[in-house]
Amino acid sequence: MTETIHHRICPLCEACCGLEIKVRDGQVASIRGHNADVFSAGYICPKGVALKDLHEDPDRLRTPLIKRDGVHVPATWTEAFAEIERRLPPLMAVHGRDATAIVVGNPAAHKIGLLTYFPKLARALGTKNVFSASTLDQMPKQLASGLMFGHWLSVALPDIARTDLLLVIGANPLASNGSMWTVPDFKGKAKALQARGGRLVVIDPRRTETAALADAHHFIRPGADVFLLAALVNTLFDEKLVRLGAVAEWVNGVDEVGLALAPFTPEAVTERCAIPAQTIRQLARELASTPRAAVYARIGTCTQTYGTLASWLVDVLNTLTGHLDAPGGVLFAKSAAFSANATGKSGVGKGVVTGRHFARVSGAPEVMGELPITCLVEEIETPGNGKVRALITVGTNPVLSSPNGPRLAQALDSLDFMVSMDIYLNETTRHADVILPGVSPLEELHYDVAFPQLSWRNHARYSPPVLPGAADQPHEWQTLLKLAAIAQGQGADVDANALDDAQFSEDAKRQFGDGAQKVIEATQGLRGPQRGLDVALRAGPYGDGFGTNPGGLTLARVMDSNAFGGIDLGELKPRLPEMLRTPSGRVELAPPSLLLDLQRAVADLNAPVPALVIIGRRDVRSNNSWMHNLPVLAKGPMRCTALVHPLDAQRLKLMDGAMAHIATETSSGPRSIEAQVQISDEMMPGVVSLPHGWGHNLAGTQLNLAAQRPGANLNALLDDQLRDPMSGNAVLGGVEITMRALA
């Protein structure tokens, strides 16, 4: 018997926990938190343990599949690439590049190979039809941060280790483990905050696990956060509580904000928010008078029609209470690699722009290089020049994760050609002509590209593969390069490694000019994402600068730290003005486009509120649409239930545990699903909560465990036409429903 111990960062959610994995005779024997991990200190959740089930899942794809006569049959990699070459380039030759589309999903954010090589495929396709799960998620936050601070990933993060008041809006980190904020063991950190006399306050239409832990919880009417936040800021001006603190000389637009928010008095918004005006005033005073306080908001505030405005107002509030860039307030991470706000010219930049092109059918503007994912369906359906005929999906399941999934499923069947890179034959990939399996996380190296830029503490951690991969299984970055080569007419036979070498040389020349040769020599022997990582670390803010800063970080040094839990780079520190990348070199508190958009909210202040609306939720044993096939997570009570307040249940004659019919009116007509009722006083009256990512009862999938308890698809009720016009983000909550008991 041989037993080895490995240390591996968990790739399943944004908390990025360091795990200790015991392997016995080639099999995973146990998974637990790595106590010595400098960042997560031994924390683990049930999904981390499920990495074993994921690795061993018999339904996880291990060979490519090609659809022949409507049935997916196993194929070799050579056959799969040949099939793509046979079908994709001719289509592009006849119909043009915009006849292709590409969608990338959530798992890509957790895999360096997918994240850093996906753009190469998108560029090779040359289509403007690039979509991602970002427009089902955090695009509003990225746009607001970009407009204010100059870069899409310059997100202000609560300094949880030092704050005395944390206001959490529309997030449930006890279930989600945090998002746009990498903070493993949120619960432990929140309890430590309380133990030192601090307070946690939660605003949510549901008394969530996080709200239950909090010192105060206020229900809010779904979708009303913009009004609450505007009234909080309004109160600061009204009661002369505005205080900028140390960043005062770097902030533009304070007076403009005060003027623009004048209509939003607490009294004016109280009915819309269902929060008493006095409570709003009190909260504003508390935020202003607590020297160390932070406001954090997440997906509940993004997936609504005012997503960008709400995200912006969160940081306006942080700024005007003197908590921006202040210890105990909100700070910016300084990540060791891949961080645009920690490299290049400091203190000023190009800022962000949107609308460099527009969606053909809806006219929606491009944001961060993408179009809204909810536009995909009409781009496939609508005839004309630029109609999407071929689609590539990369780690995404929009049939379940995107509003009006059933309409999308139908549209996917009308495509001329579809390729999916995925690990399952699921609700989306069943439509693909070719499926190319991804690698089990345990067979891949890991370094987080994005999340150190969003981390509660600075760190650099690298994990080597835990287990060897199958000999013929390409890395996902190699698959992406092959697809790129096919799209560019170079054929399926190209050598991905040679292509990578050539592209690396070109990139090095662009980035380092005369210094390129030195960089190429210094990284001899590396390739793929590992080579890109070495360069990013060495050229990064803690790097060895390829010799100019001896003792600085290199990939080798970070690799060496693996067994000791990685390298701690210290607590977050104030970074203004150095991290700014706005053209003015200042924080833009009042971006004109947002002030303009605010007029929508002014006009909407007194809009009638529906009697019953639906929102989403997350459960710690689930992850979006794709972990319902793992035994350790699937066991236990049914998690896809519709939580209904007792008063609503009584009024609608709904019984606990019984099935109910839930219906909406959408722009594509009436929609309905059937879901199991769970009566719960956790809910705000008039609000129903149902998790997304369920509905595993569609034909043609291979998810045997998930299919046993399929659950209902929340997104089958939602409208693909409802978006935040600024960011293109989908509206996923606050949608009016009717509900009745099923006989």
Ligand X SMILES: Nc1nc2c(c(=O)[nH]1)N[C@H]1C(S)=C(S)[C@@H](COP(=O)(O)OP(=O)(O)OC[C@H]3O[C@@H](n4cnc5c(=O)[nH]c(N)nc54)[C@H](O)[C@@H]3O)O[C@H]1N2
With respect to ligand SF4, which residue has the nearer C-beta, 38 or 613?
A: 38
**Separation of alpha carbons 151 and 353, rounded Å:** 10
Q: Which of the listed partners (Mo ion, ligand X, ligand SF4, none) does 203 bind, with a CB threshold of 5 to 8 Å by partner kind?
A: ligand X
The separation between CA 683 and the C-alpha centre of its own chain, rounded to angstroms, equals 25
Q: Which does 733 bind (CB under 5 to 8 A by kind): ligand SF4, ligand X, Mo ion, none?
A: ligand X
Within 477-506, which residues bind Mo ion (CB under 5 A)? Answer: none
Measured in whole angstroms, the distance separating CA 265 from the mean position of its chain's CA atoms is 33
15 binds, among Mo ion, ligand X, ligand SF4, none (CB under 5 to 8 A by kind): ligand SF4
Q: Nearest approach, Cβ of 41 to ligand X (angstroms)? A: 19
- Binder among 137, 378, 500, 719 for Mo ion (CB under 5 A): 137
Give the Cβ contact number of residue 344 at 10 Å.
10
12 binds ligand SF4 (CB under 6 A): yes
Return the number of the residue (83 or 137) whose C-beta is nearest Mo ion: 137
Are 675 and 689 spatial neighbours (Cβ–Cβ below 8 Å)? no
How far apart are alpha carbons 456 and 540 in whole angstroms? 19
For residue 649, which of 741, 713, 743, 736 has the smallest C-alpha distance? 741
Least distance from ligand SF4 to the Cβ atom of residue 43, Å: 6
**Alpha carbon of 392 to those of 174, 384, 480, 509: distances in Å?**
34, 20, 11, 30
Entry field: residues in the chain: 743
Task: Return the structure tokens found at 217.
Answer: 């919880």
Give whichever of 586 and 696 is closer to ligand X, judged by the CB atom: 696
Decide which of ligand X, Mo ion, ligand SF4, none touches 48; Cβ closer than 5 to 8 Å per partner kind.
ligand SF4
Choose the one of Mo ion, ligand X, ligand SF4, none that binds residue 617, judging by a C-beta under 5 to 8 angstroms depending on kind. Answer: ligand X
395-434 burial, b at 16+ Cβ within 10 Å, e below that, comes to bbbbbbbbbbbbbbbebbeebbbbbbbbbbbbbbbbbbbb
Residue 150 binds which of ligand X, Mo ion, ligand SF4, none (CB < 5-8 A, kind-dependent): none
Q: In the complex, what is the shortest distance from the CB of residue 573 to ligand SF4, in angstroms, rounded to a whole number?
A: 25
Q: Residue 44 binds which entry of ligand X, Mo ion, ligand SF4, none, with Cβ cut-offs from 5 to 8 Å by kind?
A: ligand SF4
Residue of 21, 28, 38, 44 interacting with ligand SF4 (CB under 6 A): 44
**Both structure tokens of 557:** 């040094």
What are the percentages of helix, strand and coil residues in the chain, rounded to 5? Answer: 35, 20, 45
Interface map 169-208 toward ligand SF4 (x if CB under 6 A): --------x------x------------------------
Tokens 């306006």 correspond to what residue? 316
The H or E element spanning position 31 is strand 27-33
14 forms part of the interface with Mo ion (CB under 5 A): no
Task: Read off the DSSP letter of residue 653.
Answer: T
Instruction: Report the SS3 class of residue 126.
Output: coil
Contacts (CB under 6 A) with ligand SF4, residues 227-256? none
Phi, psi of 571, deg, nearest 5: -70, 160
Report the partner that residue 16 touches, choosing among Mo ion, ligand X, ligand SF4, none (CB closer than 5 to 8 A by kind): ligand SF4
Q: What is the Cα–Cα distance from 435 to 437, expressed in whole angstroms? A: 6
Residue whose Cβ sits closest to ligand SF4: 48
Contact status: 734 vs ligand SF4 (CB under 6 A): no
**Do the beta carbons of residue 396 and residue 133 sit within 8 Å?**
yes
Q: Cα dihedral sign for 677, 681, 684, 689?
A: negative
Q: Contacting ligand SF4 (CB under 6 A), which of 6, 7, 8, 10?
A: 10
How many Cα atoms within 13 Å fall on the side-chain side of residue 696? 24
Interface residue with ligand SF4 among 21, 28, 38, 45 (CB under 6 A) is 45
Identify which of 54, 6, 41 has the alpha carbon closest to the alpha carbon of residue 445: 6
Q: What does 626 bind: ligand X, ligand SF4, Mo ion, none (CB cut-off 5 to 8 Å by kind)? A: ligand X
- In the bound state with ligand X, the residue whose beta carbon lies nearer, of 211 and 580, is 211
Count of positions on this chain that bind ligand SF4 (CB under 6 A) = 12
Size of the site for Mo ion (CB under 5 A): 1
**Would you say 575 and 649 are in contact if contact means Cβ atoms under 8 Å apart?**
no
Taking the C-alpha atoms of residue 721 and residue 325, their distance in angstroms, rounded to an integer, is 37
Please report, as residue ranges, which positions from 360 to 399 form the binding site for Mo ion (by CB under 5 A): none
Residue type, 283: L
Residue from the set 6, 7, 8, 13 that interacts with ligand SF4 by CB under 6 A = 13
Q: Closest distance between ligand SF4 and the C-beta of residue 337, in Å?
A: 19
Q: Where along the sequence are the contacts to ligand X (CB under 6 A)?
A: 13, 105-107, 111, 133, 136-137, 169-173, 175-177, 179, 203-206, 208, 220, 222-223, 225, 298-301, 303-304, 394-398, 401, 421-424, 426, 438, 615-620, 622-626, 689, 692-693, 714-715, 718, 732-734
Run of H or E including 595: helix 592-604
Scanning 126-196, the segments in alpha helix (DSSP H) are: 139-149, 173-176, 186-195
Residue 253 corresponds to which tokens in the numbers above?
Answer: 């637009």
Q: How far is the CB of 498 from Mo ion (least distance, A)?
A: 36
Among the candidate windows 134-142, 252-260, 387-395, 411-419, which touches Mo ion by CB under 5 A? 134-142
| Cα–Cα distance for residue pair 693/707, rounded to 1 Å | 13
CB-nearer residue toward ligand SF4: 39 or 81: 39
Nearer to ligand SF4, 15 or 180 (CB): 15
d(CA 117, CA 475): 11
Q: Which residues pair with 273 in a beta bridge?
A: none
Which of ligand SF4, Mo ion, ligand X, none is residue 184 near (CB under 5 to 8 Å by kind)? ligand SF4
- For residue 92, the minimal CB distance to Mo ion (Å) is 31
Of 214 and 337, which CB lies nearer to ligand X in the complex structure?
Answer: 214
Q: Which residues bind ligand SF4 (CB under 6 A)?
A: 10, 12-13, 15-17, 44-45, 47-48, 177, 184
Q: Which residues bind Mo ion (CB under 5 A)?
A: 137
